[in-house]
């Protein structure tokens, strides 16, 4: 075993005491197993899509939780770059009886760090609360809820906010199914342009929903009006489905779907 790998292994084994009030979950805890499984599937920039987790640690504090683990390549070797072990940290929020991924991050651990220090473990009360507040101020990608509130309850509020400069538009924004919308062509589609494709409650720029989809996202194309297309998007991690209107040039039918029409 190389000296570098020996130092890394020693740092992993000597995790030291926790410095936050969150409870660490032991290996036999079923909640830990569920969180680690979700963390394994969460994709993060900077790590291979087929990377695995090792030396996983999990903490929970009420409705908030965190998993942090060393990353292994598909061949089972620890991922080390420039003497630093590559880590994956996933933050969760509990919604009802289920845990949902809030975000996944790529971290690195120095040779003389413990995994707890590298994971920047601290109480989720302050860390995740700040993150959730930021998400409320800047609504996230479609499919990731800032708060576990019903979409139906949020829609009128957001619609009124989006249309505050023109109150006459509020009722229009709540009408997400224009009477003259055409159902054709419809079927499986994809966001064909890079960057953010903004979602709207209705085919009107004043009705911005506060969410977006990005290039490559898979959608179901539902309806059309001139210049606008209504889509349904299901987030691959949270499985939350969001429906809204986007500018038609942002989305297109899949080639297979288009060829069958």
Q: What is the DSSP string of 199-251?
A: EESSSSGGGEEEEEEETT-EEEEEEEETTEEEEEEE-TTT--EEEEEEEGGGE
CB 32 within 8 A of CB 25: yes
Give the separation between CA 35 and CA 67, rounded to whole angstroms.
7
Model confidence, pTM: 0.42
Q: Which residue has the higher pLDDT, 153 or 85?
A: 85
Domain span(s) for CATH 2.30.30.40 in the chain: 151-259
Query: Taking the domain 151-259, which CATH number applies?
Result: 2.30.30.40
Give residue 172's pLDDT: 63
Q: Summarize the confidence of residues 113-132 as an average pLDDT.
A: 62
Number of neighbours of residue 61 by Cβ within 10 angstroms: 16
CB 68 within 8 A of CB 96: no
Q: Summarize the confidence of residues 82-94 as an average pLDDT.
A: 89
């Amino acid at each position: 075993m190389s000296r570098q790998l020996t130092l890394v292994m020693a740092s992993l084994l000597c995790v030291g005491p926790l410095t936050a009030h969150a409870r660490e979950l032991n290996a036999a805890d079923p909640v830990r197993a569920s969180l680690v499984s979700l963390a394994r599937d969460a994709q993060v920039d900077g790590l291979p899509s087929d990377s695995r987790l090792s030396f996983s640690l999990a903490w929970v504090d009420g409705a908030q939780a965190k998993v942090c683990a060393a990353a292994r390549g598909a061949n089972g070797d620890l991922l080390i770059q420039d003497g630093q072990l590559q880590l994956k940290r996933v933050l969760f929020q509990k919604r009802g009886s289920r845990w949902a991924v809030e975000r996944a991050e790529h971290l690195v651990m120095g040779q003389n760090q413990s995994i707890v220090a590298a994971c920047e473990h601290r109480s989720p009360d302050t860390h995740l609360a700040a993150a959730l507040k930021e998400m409320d101020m800047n609504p996230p990608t479609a499919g990731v809820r800032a708060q576990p509130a019903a979409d139906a309850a949020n829609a009128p509020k957001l619609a009124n906010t989006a249309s505050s400069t023109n109150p006459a538009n509020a009722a229009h924004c709540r009408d997400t199914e224009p009477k003259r919308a055409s159902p054709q062509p419809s079927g499986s589609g994809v966001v064909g342009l890079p960057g953010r494709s903004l979602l709207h409650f209705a085919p009107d720029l004043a009705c911005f929903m506060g969410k977006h989809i990005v290039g490559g996202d898979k959608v179901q194309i539902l309806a059309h009006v001139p210049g606008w297309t209504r889509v349904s998007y299901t987030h691959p991690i949270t499985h939350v489905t969001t429906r809204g209107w986007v500018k038609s040039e942002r989305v297109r039918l899949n080639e297979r779907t288009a060829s069958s029409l």
